[in-house]
Amino acid sequence: AQKVTQAQTEISVVEKEDVTLDCVYETRDTTYYLFWYKQPPSGELVFLIRRNSFDEQNEISGRYSWNFQKSTSSFNFTITASQVVDSAVYFCALIPCGGSNYKLTFGKGTLLTVNP
């Protein structure tokens, strides 16, 4: 069974601050993918980034960056110079590439509020 834990329930920052969202996961599969999704108040889940279990290279894409550490089973997500439009619920999710390679397991989400 897979498990994703997002310990931060809510985070509030002021515009232009950097913010890091934490994610810890559990899986017995050796091959898996990790994702971050954004859910604005409108409700649609928007795919942001993904990382496979074999690639621990951290990347930056625009204002987004992510830190994948297999040794600690963590996949943290950072927004640099936050903006009001970043306000949303952010979900970390995992999918194994073994038997259940169709089912996304989500964390409970972190509500990010960016204040002007």
Partner 1 sequence: DTGVSQNPRHKITKRGQNVTFRCDPISEHNRLYWYRQTLGQGPEFLTYFQNEAQLEKSRLLSDRFSAERPKGSFSTLEIQRTEQGDSAMYLCASSPDNCGQPQHFGDGTRLSIL
Residues that bind partner 1 (CB under 8 A): 4, 31, 33, 35, 37, 42-47, 50, 52, 91, 93, 95-97, 100-109
Residue 111's beta-bridge partner residues? 10, 89
Comparison of 16 and 70: residue with beta carbon closer to partner 1: 70
Query: What's the rounded Cα separation, in Å, for the pair 77 and 61?
Result: 11
The CB-of-35 to partner 1 minimum distance in angstroms stands at 6
Comparison of 15 and 39: residue with beta carbon closer to partner 1: 39
The CB-of-116 to partner 1 minimum distance in angstroms stands at 25
The CB-of-60 to partner 1 minimum distance in angstroms stands at 19
The CB-of-40 to partner 1 minimum distance in angstroms stands at 11
Yes or no: say if 91 and 107 are a contact pair by the CB < 8 Å rule: yes
Comparison of 19 and 23: residue with beta carbon closer to partner 1: 23
- Contacts of residue 66, Cβ cutoff 8 Å, sequence gap at least 6: 36, 49, 51, 58, 59, 75, 76, 77, 78
Comparison of 42 and 57: residue with beta carbon closer to partner 1: 42
Query: What's the rounded Cα separation, in Å, for the pair 4 and 74?
Result: 10
Query: What's the rounded Cα separation, in Å, for the pair 91 and 111?
Result: 9
